[in-house]
Amino acid sequence: MSKVKLNLIAAACENMGIGVNGSLPWRLKKEMAYFTTMTSQVSDPTKVNAVIMGRRTWDCIPDKYRPLSNRVNIVLTHHVDALKEKVPEGVVVVPGLDAAVEYIESRPDIESSWVIGGSSIYEAAIYHPNCGKIYLTEIQKTYDCDTFFPNFDKQQFHLADEEDIPGGRQLEGDISYYFRVYKKL
């Protein structure tokens, strides 16, 4: 029995779009700062968090921010040996979500684990027995997207009220969004 919880974090627009042409459809500075804070912050200063992503999401992170700092970066791919040659030392390459969970179980210094996309990895995480909470930023606008957050059964989740997470409508320029947290029932 594994006690590793997989939290998901994503920002999606009104049509549940999360990406277009291999990048984010928007540039929201404060929303990205929320992502950085949520995925980096630890309550035990001797520990770190892990971010788990698919290979395409790895590709979408700008070179200067890659690997994501102060976090253990775990990248999923069907071509482990090929990708291992291309990523910097310290980046963990595994063939799937179960292998990622196994790796995290072997690292007692990892405090929390964040699934950061994309679509297929989010979908695998939602149906994974270790699925925890979904931190979903709901952007109140429609963007042209080619990749989407998977439909999830809102019957199996409820909207949680979290301390420390800004509530209400967030405004950034003329774009508004909400920081939502869905907790598995």
Q: In whole angstroms, what is the distance from residue 77 CA to residue 75 CA?
A: 7
Annotation marks residue 24 as catalytic: yes
Closest approach, Cβ 125 to ligand FOL, in A, equals 12
User: In this complex, which beta carbon is closest to ligand FOL, that of residue 23 or of residue 156?
Assistant: 23
Q: In whole angstroms, what is the distance from residue 182 CA to residue 126 CA?
A: 11
Q: Does 65 bind ligand FOL (CB under 6 A)?
A: yes
Candidate residues 68, 75, 76, 104; the one interacting with ligand FOL per rule CB under 6 A: 68
Q: How far is CA 52 from CA 41, 95, 119, 168, 172, in A?
A: 16, 12, 13, 28, 27
Within 13 Å and on the Cβ side, how many CA atoms surround 168? 1
CA angle 173, 29, 166 (to 5 degrees): 80
Candidate residues 5, 16, 20, 36; the one interacting with ligand FOL per rule CB under 6 A: 36
Residue 50: strand, helix, or coil: strand
Tell me which residues in 83-142 interact with ligand FOL (CB under 6 A): 116-117, 137
Closest approach, Cβ 156 to ligand FOL, in A, equals 21
Residue 149: strand, helix, or coil: coil
Q: Does 182 bind ligand FOL (CB under 6 A)?
A: no
Kindly state the number of chain residues that form the binding site for ligand FOL, as judged by CB under 6 A: 19
Q: In whole angstroms, what is the distance from residue 155 CA to residue 181 CA?
A: 14
Annotation marks residue 105 as catalytic: no
Select which of 8, 31, 76, 97 is catalytic.
31
Q: Does 24 bind ligand FOL (CB under 6 A)?
A: yes
Residues near ligand FOL (CB under 6 A) = 9-11, 24, 31-32, 34-36, 57, 60-62, 65, 68-69, 116-117, 137
For the annotated catalytic residues, the residue numbers are 24, 31
